[in-house]
Chains A and B, each alone.
Chain A
């Protein structure tokens, strides 16, 4: 029989190969120790072949005799297997059933064999070591590749659950586990539900929900310590006793729980691997695990951060999309990085100044059109914080007003990006425009009407007066602030109470206020004004009164003048009637027949009519004596005897009251001249001249009526008739009516009549009136 025993790394002998032995001996040889007295031990100690010729005789072998007998050998020859460099590799032994003494040749052969075998074993062992090392390297390489592949797949995962699935399956594979889970820690540090798993049923998973890190299970230990916890055998681990039932039910015997810790050292979750059999992970396993769990922690940490960012961006995007205002972000080149849907309505790909300045016609708050480089966005890119501007645009067929603001986003004082915000202000703009137009209209209307406007705010007690209102009341606009006292100071004292009463009544009865009163200005000038006003009520209370003040002085003067004129006309007409009546009566007394009456009456009415027409045409212009004389001459004599009439004198205005009587007197003189005097024959001559005589106090207008070449007889023959009426007019009526002194001389050679009118009797007054 024989065997070869090799030394293992711990210095024990293991039977590598045997021939001819029953099992019992192998049991024996396995327990052989170096210090024992077996052949092997002796060989090992001495490094030389040992021979036990008869076990029954060898005393040192006595303790092992029974085992040797059981194996059926009586003698042993053991030789050490010594390698090329003297390393003891093992023992080769041959056994004999009978006592045996090997020959020297045998011993030499044994030595040779042992050396050959040792060489072989040594070479073989080194080959095996190399093979082992290669396999380890390959495994490591494979693990690393798997690790990186898994890492890549995790990064490419579409969702966190997919990533976690990859992570758990990869870990199970790499660490040779049977099952596994990943649980995440929530914000409060509590373990949430199982995020990824492999190999468990749902009801088993649910038992994990109830388990917190406070418990002394594997996850609790790992999370508390921050490093992986290994339970090689749950049946052997006393602390795990409370959880054995779950573990048995789930079918695992060993656990590795690894906290997933990110770069910042904050635990993000835990990965637990389970083994059906008891299991002790190798150092390499644990090293790999360390890498996995840190990579997983990193991933979860980043994922959480990304998730937070993504959610926040989603919220922001949702807000921006839902906002009724336009929001956009543009880069240094003016290109939009972001535009919300509202802004997309108005913009192309770039801000207008970089896109098409004509697209946006912007106006500043005063309505001035902005140049392209003044656009808010253009200014924001230069780092300025520009004022807002308004843009008129058309959306569809509708005209819209957009208010544009832009803000630079600065870094190190340099504008990197710009934020533009637009707001549709069409409604308020339209209202503003309408209001402005309406105000402009009102202002223009008020201004063009030259009406004063006042506006009283009852709540603040403040007044507004337009410029005209100041002017009407005799103030300068820059002189003072309007108030009631300033107004009252200008109202005629007799009219103030009535004005207040009218306003109070309008307020009480909720009617428009309307009143006319006098204004006495600072310079004492008096004006009539008409006020129209209206109270404005809020919550049944008058809060404001607004109204207009109109200067009606001229209108009132016009009315007054018209009244006077109408009265004057009436007066004149009635007086005229009385005069006609009188002429008729007087004429009636001096005529002999109705035919003569008709003749004379009509002639006098004609004269009266002419002078009335002269008076009415004259307006306010004074009528001159020359006009009166010329009028009568033209009417009666110039055509027939113009060459025999001469007349003239200075411009001599007459009082109105004198005009009528004087023209009637001249009419009588001329009628007589035509009938009986100078113009009754072909040779007579008439001369009418006048001049102004006297000093300023007793100035008078002297008219001289001279007829030459008349036959005095006919007149002398009938002095009492029309001549009588004429003389009465001249001698009495002129004196009576206008204070004239007259003389009437009818001689043989002709007629000489002098009429002297005083000019000093209130001439101006009457001439104007």
Chain B
């Protein structure tokens, strides 16, 4: 399924990625496709604050490992709000804990199409 820019307009995507360059690149990719970006943030603490404070989150892209801290608490928070999310990692997907194995996992580097497909496909 292909989602055009109009279909995505106004959707708010949370980006959690500790590498600034990667985070801004993804943000740019999504912005050019009409998404609104929440963040990006690079720590679990900042991400949890955003999840808590944002009234509306349509989707989330999470780097699994944030400066050595796993992003699972963010997953838990997003799940409680039924926010669709996708993992983005440089590690093998087997390194993800069994309880989060059902979260779609994308290998870096990601493309916008695959990311959107994983979130809203």
Contact = CB atoms under 8 A, between A and B. Distances in A.
Interface of A: 567, 570-575, 577-583, 585-586, 589, 657, 661, 732-733, 736-737, 762, 765-766, 769
The 4 closest A-B pairs by CB, nearest first: A582-B25, A571-B90, A574-B90, A582-B21
B2 interface: no
Contact of A577 (B89, B95, B108): B108
A581 B109 contact: yes
A567 B92 contact: yes
Interface in B70-105: 89-92, 95
Contact of A737 (B42, B109, B110): B42
Contact of A765 (B21, B24, B28, B68): B68
B58 to A, nearest CB: 23
Contact of B109 (A572, A578, A762): A578
Main secondary structure of the interface of B (DSSP, over half): mixed
B89 to A, nearest CB: 7
B41 to A, nearest CB: 8
Nearest to B21: A582
A733 B25 contact: no
B83 to A, nearest CB: 23
A737 B18 CA distance: 6
Nearest to B23: A736
Nearest to A762: B68
A237 to B, nearest CB: 133
Given A577-B108, A578-B108, A765-B68, A572 B90 contact: yes
Contacts of B89: 571, 574
17 contacts: A567-B91, A570-B92, A574-B89, A575-B90, A578-B22, A578-B108, A578-B109, A579-B22, A581-B25, A582-B21, A585-B25, A661-B21, A733-B20, A733-B21, A736-B23, A737-B18, A737-B19
Contacts of B28: 585, 589
Contacts of A765: 68
Contact of B108 (A575, A586, A661, A769): A575
A766 B67 CA distance: 9
A573 B25 contact: no
A188 to B, nearest CB: 104
B20 A736 contact: yes
Contacts of A570: 90-92
A582 B22 CA distance: 6
Interface of B: 18-25, 28-29, 40, 42, 65, 67-68, 89-92, 95, 107-110
Given A575-B108, A657-B67, A732 B20 contact: yes
Nearest to A566: B92
A567 B40 CA distance: 25
Contact of A575 (B19, B40, B42, B92): B19
A571 B94 CA distance: 13
A739 to B, nearest CB: 9
Given A578-B25, A586-B24, A737-B20, 14 more contacts: A570-B90, A573-B90, A578-B21, A578-B90, A579-B22, A580-B109, A581-B22, A581-B25, A585-B28, A586-B21, A661-B20, A736-B20, A736-B40, A766-B68
Nearest to A589: B28
Contacts of A769: 68
A574 B24 contact: no
B24 A582 contact: yes
A567 B84 CA distance: 27
Contacts of A585: 25, 28-29
A570 B93 CA distance: 11
Nearest to B29: A585
Contacts of B18: 657, 737
Contacts of A577: 108-109
B51 to A, nearest CB: 18
Contacts of B65: 571
A236 B25 CA distance: 163
Nearest to B41: A736
B85 to A, nearest CB: 18
Contacts of B108: 574-575, 577-578
Contacts of A661: 20-21
Contact of A574 (B25, B40, B68, B107): B107
Nearest to A660: B19
A314 to B, nearest CB: 92
Q: Which of A579, A583, A769 has the most CB of B within 10 A?
A: A579
B25 A736 contact: no
A586 B22 CA distance: 11
A732 to B, nearest CB: 7
B25 A586 contact: yes
B21 A583 contact: yes
Contacts of A567: 91-92, 95
A575 B91 CA distance: 9
Contacts of B95: 567
Contact of A571 (B20, B40, B91): B91
B91 A578 contact: no
A166 to B, nearest CB: 117
Contacts of A582: 21-22, 24-25
A98 to B, nearest CB: 186
